Structure formats: structure tokens, C-alpha cells
Amino acid sequence: MASLLYQPMTDKVQLALWIAHPVLQSSVVVLMLVRRQVRKFPVFFGYLLSQCAIFAVVFPLYCTGSYRAFFFAYWISALISLALGFAVIHEIFLDIFAPFHTLKDLGTVLFQWAGLVMLLVGIVVAAASPTSSQGPVVQAVLTLQRCVRIAQCGLILFLLVFSRYLGVSWRQKSFGTALGFGTFAATELFVVALNASGYATQREISIVNMCAYNLAIVTWFGYMWSKNAVRENAATLLKSQRWDQSLAEVRHPVAPDSLIPMFEGMVERAFSKAAGDQ
């Protein structure tokens, strides 16, 4: 769910960009059904469906002018979107590390701890935030939103750096999903920094933000439309396989061989040598 910059929109350009969200998302949903990608990316599919459902609830509230209901619906849906967006990152990692079972298990543990840390940070911010027009709950959601956006940026950077070692092709659907989230997250963090510095108006920032989200959806559509890309051959994955094997040995260390047979062999050789000298 693209941020609306936390204020009701006031012109037709913003409304058009907002309405484009569910239209484009629905096209990706239909394409995933046609291409039978739902089983491979069920969390991402659920994320797209939830965004369409959220729009069906939030948009009528906005049109009717019920600001209080719109406020609560928007921020509750924003929290749901953040949780699902974080789950999509985990799903992408599981797909990337599918050939490396130990690395996949480690990534799952790290994601669980990262989610817990993000939740604790949000609770602390909500409890420590001073009274403001936005309120502590909104501040907590915004903090969680920044954490998830940073994680999404980190995901695409990770793929750009380590794709060669993991055998991940830039044409893979998991890479395209991460690319869409990463570019949108980077844009949102950038425009929020501009807003904090006073270099752009809220209307300009909101338009840029929603354009970036629409571009991300178009990216997902393009990757879902393309043919499945095959991982690179095993020769390029030797280093990753060594990492996976080393981590497995750390988790399940093999008992070292006993030193007794070695000492027995040394004693036997010593006696044999002594007997030969005699």
C-alpha cells in the first residue's frame, strides 16, 4: 500500500494514481492465476489480494468524507500491509535459498528475530512519543514502515551483490518481486527525507510516491508475464554450496576421530623400529 503522505488527497491526479493501484494489482493477480504462480508465491499473491480489499474498504470511506473512519481504516490497513510486505521478503529469501537448506533455515531464524525487533521498536516508539497531532500509534506505524522499507532496500541490494554466487538470474520472478519492492521502498525513503528537509511539498511527494508504487506493480506484471528463468549451472554455485556445508557442520558438528588409534600406531611403529635395530 503506497503511502498517501498521511493526509487526504485534494486533486484528481492523486485520485487517479490511487485508483490505478487496485487496477494494476488485479491484473497481476489474474496473471498469476493464469501462469499458475500462486503456489510458488502464495504470500505475494495474498499481499496483492489484500491491497485490492483494502482499497475497496478505504476508498469509499474517503469519498464519503468520514475522516475518523478513514483515519482508522487507513492506518490499520497500513499495518496489515507492512506485515504482509515483510512476509513477502521472507518468501523471496526462501525461494532464493531453496537449493541451500541450511542457509534457508538460518534466514528464517534471522527473519523471525528481525520481525520481533521491529515490533519492539514500534511499541517503544508508541510509548515514548510525545503528544502530537498524529498520535503515538501513527508514530509507531511510521517507524515500522521505515524498518520494513529499509529491509526491502537491503533485499534488492543483497540480490544485486550476491546473485552471481547464488545462481539467481535477474529474469527470475523472485528477483522481479524484490526489484519492485526495493525501488518503491528506496523512493519512499528518499521522498520522506525531502519532506523532512522542506525541499518538496506534500502534494509533490505524494504523487512521486504513488507513481513509484504503480511502477513497482508494472514491474511485477512484467516479471509474471515473462517465462520462468532457470538457475545458473552448479559450477557457479560452488562457493555458496561450501557456505551451506560449512554452516551445516557448525550446526551439527561431527565428533572428532579418537586419538587412541593414532597413538597405538605410533607405539607399534616405535617397537617395530626398535626390534629391527636389535
pLDDT 10s digits, 148-181: 788 778 777 777 777 666 666 778 888 889 899 9
The contacts of residue 238 (CB under 8 Å, 6+ apart) are none
User: Residue 10 burial (CB < 10 Å; 0-12/13-18/19+)?
Assistant: exposed
- Between residues 181 and 137, which one has the greater pLDDT? 181
Q: Would residue 194 count as lying in a domain?
A: yes
Rounded Cα gap, residues 238 and 243, in angstroms: 9
End-to-end Cα spacing for the chain: 90
In a domain, 229, yes or no: yes
Residue 248 resides in a domain: no
Task: Tell me, yes or no, whether 207 lies in a domain.
Answer: yes
Cell of 102: 541450511
Is 70:8 a contact under the CB 8 Å cutoff? yes
For residue 157, being part of any structural domain is answered with yes
* 3-state secondary structure (DSSP) of residue 160: helix
Distance CA 154, CA 167 (A): 19
Residue 242 lies inside a defined structural domain of this protein: no
pTM for the complete prediction?
0.73
Single-letter code of the amino acid located at 240: S
Q: Which domain holds residue 138?
A: 12-235
The pLDDT of 225-249, averaged and rounded, is 56
Q: What is the CATH number of the domain that holds 127?
A: 1.20.1070
Name the domain count of the chain: 1
Is 251 a domain residue?
Answer: no
The grid coordinates of residue 77 equal 490497513
For residue 82, what pLDDT is reported? 85
136: in domain: yes
Q: Which helix (H) or strand (E) holds 178?
A: helix 173-197
| Nearest residue to 14 (alpha-carbon basis) of 209, 219, 215 | 209
User: How confident is the model over 227-246, as a mean pLDDT?
Assistant: 53
Dist. CA 136–CA 130, nearest whole Å: 7
- The least confident of 64-73, 84-93, 195-204, 261-270 is 261-270
CA distance 23 to 8: 20
Number of Cβ within 10 Å of residue 148's Cβ equals 23
The rounded percent of the chain whose pLDDT value lies above 70 is: 63
